[in-house]
Structure 1
Amino acid sequence: MVSDTVKLEPLGSPTDEKASKIENDAEYFDPHLHRHSPHPTTNMETLIHLLKAAIGTGILAMPEAFKFAGMVNGIISTILIGLLCTYTLHVLIRSQYEMCKRRKVGLLTYPESMRVACEMGPNFLRGFAPYAPALTNFFLIFYQIGICCVYIVFVGVNVKAVADQYIKPEISLILYTLMFFIPFLLTMMVRNLKLLSPFSYAANFITLLTFGVCGYYVFQNLPPFSSLPAFGPWASYPLYFGTCLFSLQACGVVIALENNMEHPKSFLKPLGVLNIGMLIVTLIYVLLAIMGYWRYGEHILPSITLNFPSADPLAQVIRILYSTAILISYGLQGYPAVQIILTNYILPYLKSSTTEKRKLVYEYLLRFAIVALTFILGITVPLLGLFISLVGAFCLSALGIAFPAIIEIAAYWPDRLGRGRWILWKDIALIIIGVVGLVAGSYSCIYEIVTALAAGKS
């Protein structure tokens, strides 16, 4: 086998007969050999990045998600959703590889994959090809902006919980949130992500420290395990589903990580980066959700840090530290939305005579607009748990379940769908799951948000 690090000549300029055959025959074309990442990552580096991307604010919301599902149902469902997310990521990466072979290109972005899928797939999809990238970009942008909103609400809620112990009378959550507009704006204005690397290492350390403190609190004074309901009301299950999907699914990040690997063939192996990473992530989420819900039961709050004793100095320190880590990560989460909007919807419509300085002005205006939008949304709907669930149900049901299934159908269409076309029927089932999750989850979240806002909750 040719090493993954071998660098071939650019497409269209083969140097020998063998190269010519590779260029002209999709069966022998290996997209991995035509990727030229300037700084490829090793398997271990990719695994670390995967863990960092997958373990965020969602993990602190999982104990509340178990309240919606019930303890036994939560455990089983989280394991099943973890397996589903892992499988659909396999489907997505494998299908993209097949389409790259047929199109003889090194890689495809997610929006490009949807466009190519519509062009290559069944006839009824081909009319959607021109609109597929825009639809995919919409979900990607909504997802990234939704995460930014969650981060803003998380910081405001946790800082208020600390400050309320010292400042009387209490200040409203809106004012605490607005106090952090400038820090969030400065984080978003960083264009070179390498400048944030040292802070990201600090954020990772704080995250590990937070898990340790969570363990310290949740293992104290545990009630009888049998006192917790095994199953929650089915009407609240969509809320659990959205939160769990928000926590476990990281399709956009996974594509970027696989594209940048030094040895991408290692990514999907049985003991490869994806399986090991998702196994670790799922086990961590299940463990913390079990312990958090076991300890606090029906009193669990949208972020488990809010259940820690407010007057305890350790709880106050960890709330401030983790809020700092989330603030640092805000720019990283907003970066994909900036790039998608800038490269697809701003730069192509500027005149060719536009100077680089003016383009930079447009970019900074876009960054300011995204920060302003996320603050408006965060202040308008300061409901952390429901916001997390809404983003997960609306965006990731499509991006993480339905779209990968559509791409796989197209990648193997029309005569490679297996005996009895089992791949087609399996993917139709995944599409149905994704659509039901999107509709039911989004409806439940929006209904709960409207009800809570009408009742004056925050």
Structure 2
Amino acid sequence: MANESMKLKPLGSNKYTDGEGGGNGNSPGTNEDYDPHLHRVVENPTTNVETLIHLLKGCLGTGILAMPEAFKNSGIFNGLVSTFIIGVLCTYCLHVLVKSQYILCKRLKIPILSYPESMKLALESGPQCLRPFAKMSPLLVDFFLIAYQLGICCVYIVFVGVNVKAVGDQYLKEVDVKIYILASFIPFILINCVRNLKLLAPFSTLANIITFASFGVVCYYVFQNLPPIDDRPSFGRLYTYPLFFGTTLFALEAVGVVIALENNMKTPKSFGGYFGVLNIGMAFVVVLYIGMGFIGYWRYGEIVKPSITLNFPAEQPLSQAINLLYSLAIFISYGLQGYVPVAIIWNTYVVKRLEGSTHLIAWEYLLRFACVIVTFVLALTIPMLGLFISLFGAFCLSALGLAFPAIMEICVNWPDNLGRFKWILFKDILLIIFGVVGLLAGSYSCISEIINEFKKQA
């Protein structure tokens, strides 16, 4: 078999110590003194500040530029309140997920568990009616994780195509956005072929600088000539509210990032808590998203675009520079986001079937090409940025970020630790219902709008 340098490193993979706590996880341990955090072996662990920076980076992508359009679908006052509530709910569910994983690790004497493994082990110890689903649960979690990450990549491709087109139309003959998307195919292939993420680190730093600098220019435009706030409706239509829900969930939820960050911290106990890394980071993100959505919709109203940068005067050099620079930042981020589905597919489903092969590198590159091709086919088929964001947010994150953590919490506390009057059980059932309704309603609204858009174009 090829040496370890040829293999992708799994996201959130297990690492066991050779001493105490190095069990195989097949039988539960009874030693209450076992602390999974003390038995983790992490290469290059991150400090609290570094973890906070990574958390902010994982949450601040294309979603924040779509928040003004999300507020258009909800109404300005409803959007403000709903974004806060969804932000609190997402943060709470992330705490539930991390805590449930910790309980499982402590119970089984395992230092680290991935999300799919945690789901399987939780269901095996949960109510009898859920145990038959344990075997297939890792596949289901992987499906949503892969779909979500590929969805992010699709959004990034469309974002780059739409924003570059906005600039190109000022100097060249106006052409369909699909031409710009196709023209970016080779660059996206190349960046997804970077197998060592350390090589992307300097470019990621550049992307962060561009992103935060762009926020300053966005503020410069949106605070100009604000109309009377009474011109904006406080509440939108019920039909469009699921679109708001999907966009906001896509923008705020970072379940895959959160698990990886907590697993790689030097002091993982600092991640939770009232003033822990997660709460501080999410509080900053929620305030930023509320501000962007509120001010952006207040400024542009019903004419707001799926990315607020498209509302800026296309003929102005400053606006053109922001469109191009932000597109560059998102292009760089594609390499990071594309790494996740490749890692899951390669390590979980492919590499074990290629044991003994002398062409592992070639197979890995083939997988990388295939992932890029899939995202481009979707982007070319449905080049609708706002609807793409809402669809993947509602479909994937309602399950990954809301329903699944609640199911895990029920299972790991079953049957004797569900609180007084079993309040944890009833609370989690409400979260599951909320997640399922969000998934169904959000997906239905997005698909309906996509069909309507195709009918308009026909």
Tell me, yes or no, whether TM beats 0.5. yes
1:398 partnered with 2:399: yes
TM-score, length-scaled by structure 1: 0.94
In the TM superposition, residue 8 of structure 1 has moved relative to its aligned partner by 7.0
- Deviations for 1:188-216, whole angstroms, at most 9, x for unmatched residues? 00000000000000000000111001000
1:353 partnered with 2:362: no
Aligned residue in 2 for 1:233: 237
Which residue of 289, 293, 298 maps to 1:285?
A: 289
Aligned residue in 2 for 1:198: 202
Give, in whole Å, the separation in 1 of the partners of 2:31 and 2:110: 10
- Deviations for 1:297-344, whole angstroms, at most 9, x for unmatched residues? 000000000000000100000100000011001010011100111111
Alignment of structure 1 residues 144-163 onto 2, 5 Å: 144-163=149-168
Code of the aligned partner of 2:294: I
Give, in whole Å, the separation in 2 of the partners of 1:91 and 1:372: 36
In the TM superposition, residue 94 of structure 1 has moved relative to its aligned partner by 0.5
Aligned residue in 2 for 1:98: 103
Give, in whole Å, the separation in 2 of the partners of 1:340 and 1:420: 40
In the TM superposition, residue 12 of structure 1 has moved relative to its aligned partner by 6.2
> Alpha carbons of 1:331 and 1:55: their partners in 2 closer, same or farther (altered >3 Å)?
same
Aligned residue in 2 for 1:323: 327
In the TM superposition, residue 9 of structure 1 has moved relative to its aligned partner by 5.2
Aligned residue in 1 for 2:215: 211
In the TM superposition, residue 353 of structure 1 has moved relative to its aligned partner by 2.6
Alignment of structure 1 residues 297-312 onto 2, 5 Å: 297-312=301-316
**DSSP 3-state at the match of 1:366:** helix
**DSSP 3-state at the match of 2:50:** helix
Give, in whole Å, the separation in 1 of the partners of 2:434 and 2:93: 12
Give, in whole Å, the separation in 2 of the partners of 1:99 and 1:431: 20
Give, in whole Å, the separation in 2 of the partners of 1:13 and 1:230: 56
Contact 2:398–2:436 at 8 Å: present in 1 too? yes
Aligned residue in 2 for 1:117: 122
Give, in whole Å, the separation in 2 of the partners of 1:61 and 1:24: 47
Aligned residue in 2 for 1:248: 252
> Alpha carbons of 1:399 and 1:13: their partners in 2 closer, same or farther (altered >3 Å)?
closer
- Deviations for 1:259-280, whole angstroms, at most 9, x for unmatched residues? 0000000110111100000000
**DSSP 3-state at the match of 1:271:** coil
Contact 2:22–2:110 at 8 Å: present in 1 too? no
TM-score, length-scaled by structure 2: 0.94
Aligned residue in 1 for 2:452: 451
Give, in whole Å, the separation in 2 of the partners of 1:190 and 1:48: 23
Aligned residue in 2 for 1:421: 422
Contact 1:114–1:132 at 8 Å: present in 2 too? yes
Alignment of structure 1 residues 6-405 onto 2, 5 Å: 10-11=19-20, 25-168=30-173, 170-350=174-354, 352-355=355-358, 358-405=359-406
Give, in whole Å, the separation in 2 of the partners of 1:456 and 1:24: 61
Contact 1:115–1:132 at 8 Å: present in 2 too? yes
1:410 partnered with 2:408: no
- Deviations for 1:42-98, whole angstroms, at most 9, x for unmatched residues? 101000000000111000000000000000000000000000001000100011100
Aligned residue in 2 for 1:3: none
Contact 2:21–2:39 at 8 Å: present in 1 too? no
Give, in whole Å, the separation in 2 of the partners of 1:322 and 1:177: 16
Code of the aligned partner of 1:10: G
- Structure 1 gap ranges (5+): 1-6, 15-22
Contact 2:22–2:109 at 8 Å: present in 1 too? no
Identity %: 62
Aligned residue in 1 for 2:7: none
- Deviations for 1:385-407, whole angstroms, at most 9, x for unmatched residues? 00000000000000000000001
Contact 1:8–1:33 at 8 Å: present in 2 too? no
**DSSP 3-state at the match of 1:124:** coil
- Deviations for 1:360-404, whole angstroms, at most 9, x for unmatched residues? 111100000111111110010000000000000000000000000
Give, in whole Å, the separation in 1 of the partners of 2:419 and 2:149: 36
The list of structure 1 runs, each at least 4 consecutive aligned residues, that deviate by more than 6 angstroms after superposition, is none
In the TM superposition, residue 235 of structure 1 has moved relative to its aligned partner by 0.7
**DSSP 3-state at the match of 2:457:** coil
Give, in whole Å, the separation in 1 of the partners of 2:221 and 2:52: 29
In the TM superposition, residue 25 of structure 1 has moved relative to its aligned partner by 2.8
Give, in whole Å, the separation in 1 of the partners of 2:353 and 2:265: 33
Code of the aligned partner of 1:133: P
Contact 1:60–1:304 at 8 Å: present in 2 too? yes
Give, in whole Å, the separation in 2 of the partners of 1:447 and 1:252: 28
Alignment RMSD: 1.4
Code of the aligned partner of 2:371: I
> Alpha carbons of 1:292 and 1:240: their partners in 2 closer, same or farther (altered >3 Å)?
same
Kindly tell me the number of residue pairs found equivalent between the two proteins. Answer: 439
Give, in whole Å, the separation in 2 of the partners of 1:121 and 1:418: 16
In the TM superposition, residue 11 of structure 1 has moved relative to its aligned partner by 3.5
Code of the aligned partner of 1:85: C
In the TM superposition, residue 348 of structure 1 has moved relative to its aligned partner by 1.7
